[in-house]
Amino acid sequence: MIGSSELMKEYQNVFVFDHPLIKHKISILRDKNTGMKEFRELVEEITQIMTYVSMGDVELVPVEVETPLEKTVQYRIPEESVAIVPILRAGLGMVNGVHKVFPTARVGHIGMYRNEDTLQPQEYYCKLPDGIEKKTVILVDPMLATGGSACDALAALKKRGCKNIRMMSIIAAPEGIERVAREHPDVRVYVSTLDRGLNENGYILPGLGDAGDRLFGTK
């Protein structure tokens, strides 16, 4: 990305982080002995770092500010110019990390689960904020495996008129990245780490297991 090449490696519209803090945190996240509380905190912290780096080109508008000494023109991000859209469930774990950076961002939700046999995503919920089509939308899901859930969620956002969409995932498989880049070449995809591939059940290797279960303690 423009100005951040030392922190991310770019392949077309896919940006893979090369950041020591993220590497450190991901190594703990992957560990099967890391408990739910620490897992949740790490997902939030990694998302926060990713948001800082990936939004380095966000649009600013001039504003007049009065310091104790004089008036000056400064630059701010327009209120409510960003929306966060987590793919339920696991994407919920990333919302607070983006909110730390953009506290006024509205949140939309897209519910998807993968059919365990076919690996095809099933949409079960979609509620997006009014006016989302005018905002920069950050779609979040910690896992990008086959890319099916991400592609369907991106299609749903585009159907609602969204044009400026970015996606952030913590762990991605090459299969997922290739599919999203092929079907949605206009979307910038930011991933913390690119893993080796998928196993026969569609799980990322080495991965971290089932992100939703580890975030919410369901298994």
Angle 131-135-138 (CA atoms, 0-180°, nearest 5)? 120
Q: Which of 18, 34, 40, 210 is catalytic?
A: 210
**Which of ligand PRP, ligand URA, none is residue 207 near (CB under 5 to 8 Å by kind)?**
ligand URA
Please, which residue, 46 or 112, has the CB nearer to ligand PRP? 112
Sequence-distant (≥ 6) Cβ neighbours of residue 4 within 8 angstroms: 53, 54, 56
Please indicate whether residue 213 is annotated as part of the active site.
Answer: yes
Taking the C-alpha atoms of residue 193 and residue 97, their distance in angstroms, rounded to an integer, is 17
How many CA atoms, within 13 angstroms, populate the side-chain half-sphere of residue 28? Answer: 17
Known catalytic residue at 146: no
Nearer to ligand URA, 159 or 219 (CB): 219
Which of 118, 160, 182, 186 is catalytic? The answer is: 118
Q: Which is nearer to ligand URA, 90 or 128 (CB)?
A: 90
CB of 33 to ligand PRP, least distance (A): 21
149: partner contacted, choices ligand PRP, ligand URA, none (Cβ within 5-8 A by kind): ligand PRP
Beta bridge partners of 114: 121
Residue 204 interacting partner from ligand PRP, ligand URA, none (CB closer than 5 to 8 Å by kind): ligand URA
CA distance 206 to 136: 32
Known catalytic residue at 31: no
Least Cβ distance, residue 105 to ligand URA (angstroms): 24
- Cα separation, 75 vs 65, whole angstroms: 9
Residue 149 in contact with residue 96, Cβ under 8 Å? no
Query: What is the closest distance, in whole angstroms, from the C-beta atom of residue 20 to ligand PRP in the complex?
Result: 26
Q: Which two tokens stand for residue 129?
A: 């904020």
Extract the tokens encoding 198: 């998928």
Cα distances (Å, whole numbers) of residue 91 to 72, 149, 180, 196, 218? 40, 11, 17, 22, 15
106 is catalytic: no
Q: Which residues are near ligand PRP by CB under 6 A?
A: 87, 89-90, 112-114, 119, 121, 141, 143-150, 176, 202, 210-212
176 binds, among ligand URA, ligand PRP, none (CB under 5 to 8 A by kind): ligand PRP
**Site residues (CB under 6 A) for ligand URA?**
90, 143, 145, 202-204, 207, 210-212
Q: How far is the CB of 212 from ligand PRP (least distance, A)?
A: 3
- Which residue in the block uniquely carries the two structure tokens 């770019």? 10
Quote the tokens at residue 108: 């939309």
Active site positions, annotated: 114, 118, 210, 213
